Amino acid sequence: MSPTKSLNGASFMDVLKDKVILLTGGTGSFGNKFTEIALSQHSPKAIRVFSRGEKKQYDMEKKFKDDRLRFFIGDVRDKDRLRRAMTDADIVVHAAALKQVPACEYNPIEAVRTNIDGSINVIDAAIDNGIDRVMAISTDKAVHPVNLYGATKMTAEKLFIQGNSYAGKVHTKFSCVRYGNVIGSRGSVVPLFLEQKKTGTLTITDEQMTRFWITLEQGVNFVINCIGRMKGGEIFIPKIPSMKITELATAIAPRAKRKIIGIRPGEKIHEVLLTDEEATHAREFSDSFVIEPEHAFWSTRHPIGGKPLPVPFRYTSDENKQWLTKQQLMAIIKEFGCLEN
């Protein structure tokens, strides 16, 4: 296998080379970037894009024009369709979810059926098909959840980690990647501020608010790196920088007025990616933290390396050691097309 890069540039062997990959939620922003990077840098045998949207699949097919792509219309709520889509696949990346907080609050049963029941279906279908590795994409909202979206993602994390117990003698391994806000993604504050900049006024929920930041490309590369590292049962967390919301506002629209509107329902002042409790069974690496499972099946895995964390320890956006400067943020925004030159 050929080498590839981790979040911080370290090399490892390419786990995607000559593999058949099923990507749920494959037409979303993560799915498009994952497909772009996998096809151009990792030589997979095939990528099966699994999603509900016929139009988005058509657009994606025109965009990439690559005969290694396969398109499956389907919903993670449909276990039989997932089983068929996973036939003879090697790796599953589970990115399908309802993720907009207000939409999940207003449609709670739909959020549960997609984010929780859909995760159960992915786990069952993967075990039934003998998939080698299954990586679920999670979020900081799953940590100490204060809204339904976060609660469903917390449950999904638990399901995937404990899915290793359900696998039994089948070699299928399940792990999760958990990270924070993706700069410029759908529903994030960067596009909102860019739109509000035209009006001359930005809305700020709380002046003390901080957020973790990661680019879409960094997120995808980190996921691919973790698929190569996983033993089954880990939650992988990248080390990424923080920034205050007020500094973001200054970087995007330095002359705009600010209107403080108060924190919204289900929103946090600061983000948490690793809790004190999780730190007691986590390891630290140069580019990441890895939470080890506390369950019996882990005793059969090989050591993952790294070093233990001090107690107490927590990884939060306000106590982060790494902060983006205004210049770094401006460079990222321009690079990823979120700001006019």
Query: Domain residues of the chain, as ranges?
Result: 3-180+216-239+273-316
CA-CA distance, 50 to 64, in Å (whole number)? Answer: 16
Distances (CA, A) of 174 to 110, 127, 138, 181, 276: 24, 10, 13, 23, 23
**pTM score, whole prediction:** 0.92
DSSP secondary structure string, 249-305?
HHHH-TT-EEEE--PPTT--SS-EEE-HHHHTTEEE-SSEEEEPP-SGGGGGSPP--
Task: Check the CA dihedral 99-100-105-109 and report its sign.
Answer: negative
Q: Are 293 and 234 in contact (CB under 8 A)?
A: yes
DSSP 323: B
Q: What does the pLDDT profile of the chain (341 residues) look like in tens digits?
A: 445 555 444 445 799 999 999 999 999 999 999 999 999 999 999 999 999 999 999 999 999 999 999 999 999 999 999 999 999 999 999 999 999 888 999 999 999 999 999 999 999 999 999 999 999 999 999 999 999 999 999 999 999 999 999 998 889 999 999 998 887 666 678 888 888 999 999 999 999 999 999 989 999 999 999 999 999 999 999 999 999 999 989 888 889 999 999 988 778 999 999 999 999 999 999 999 999 988 766 665 666 789 999 989 999 999 999 999 878 877 876 765 554 43
* Token pair recorded at residue 48: 């099966």
Q: Active-site positions? A: 141
Return d(Cα 3, Cα 250) in angstroms, integer.
Answer: 40
190 close to 251: Cβ distance less than 8 angstroms? no
DSSP string, 140-189: GGGSS--SHHHHHHHHHHHHHHHHHHHHTTS--EEEEEEE-EETT-TT-H
Q: Which CATH number applies to 3-180+216-239+273-316?
A: 3.40.50.720
